[in-house]
A and B are shown apart, each in its own frame.
Chain A
Amino acid sequence: GAGVSQSPSNKVTEKGKDVELRCDPISGHTALYWYRQSLGQGLEFLIYFQGNSAPDKSGLPSDRFSAERTGGSVSTLTIQRTQQEDSAVYLCASSPTNGGNIQYFGAGTRLSVL
Chain B
Amino acid sequence: DQQVKQNSPSLSVQEGRISILNCDYTNSMFDYFLWYKKYPAEGPTFLISISSIKDKNEDGRFTVFLNKSAKHLSLHIVPSQPGDSAVYFCAASGGNKLVFGAGTILRVKS
| Residues from chain A with Cβ under 8 Å of B99 in the complex | 45
B96 and A108 contact, CB distance less than 8 A: no
A91 and B4 contact, CB distance less than 8 A: no
| Residues from chain B with Cβ under 8 Å of A91 in the complex | 43-44
Please measure, in the bound complex, the distance between the C-alpha atom of A108 and the C-alpha atom of B87, giving whole angstroms.
Answer: 15
Query: Does B32 sit within 8 A of A, measured CB to CB?
Result: yes
> Which residue of A has the minimal Cβ distance to B97?
A45
Please measure, in the bound complex, the distance between the C-alpha atom of A91 and the C-alpha atom of B100, giving whole angstroms.
Answer: 13
> Which residue of B has the minimal Cβ distance to A92?
B43
Please measure, in the bound complex, the distance between the C-alpha atom of A43 and the C-alpha atom of B103, giving whole angstroms.
Answer: 9
Query: Does A65 sit within 8 A of B, measured CB to CB?
Result: no
Please measure, in the bound complex, the distance between the C-alpha atom of A25 and the C-alpha atom of B91, giving whole angstroms.
Answer: 20
Please measure, in the bound complex, the distance between the C-alpha atom of A93 and the C-alpha atom of B31, giving whole angstroms.
Answer: 20
A106 and B43 contact, CB distance less than 8 A: yes
Query: Does A78 sit within 8 A of B, measured CB to CB?
Result: no
Query: Does A80 sit within 8 A of B, measured CB to CB?
Result: no
| Residues from chain A with Cβ under 8 Å of B102 in the complex | 40-42
Please measure, in the bound complex, the distance between the C-alpha atom of A93 and the C-alpha atom of B49, giving whole angstroms.
Answer: 17
**A100 CB contact (under 8 Å) in B46, B89, B93, B103:** B93
Nearest 5 CB-CB pairings of A with B: A105-B43, A42-B100, A43-B100, A42-B102, A100-B32
Name 6 A/B residue pairs within 8 A (Cβ), A-sorted: A4-B43, A50-B96, A98-B96, A102-B49, A105-B43, A107-B43
Q: A42-B100, A99-B96 are in contact. List 16 more A-B contacts (CB 8 A).
A: A4-B43, A33-B97, A42-B101, A45-B97, A48-B96, A50-B96, A91-B43, A98-B96, A99-B93, A99-B95, A100-B31, A100-B32, A102-B46, A102-B49, A105-B36, A105-B45
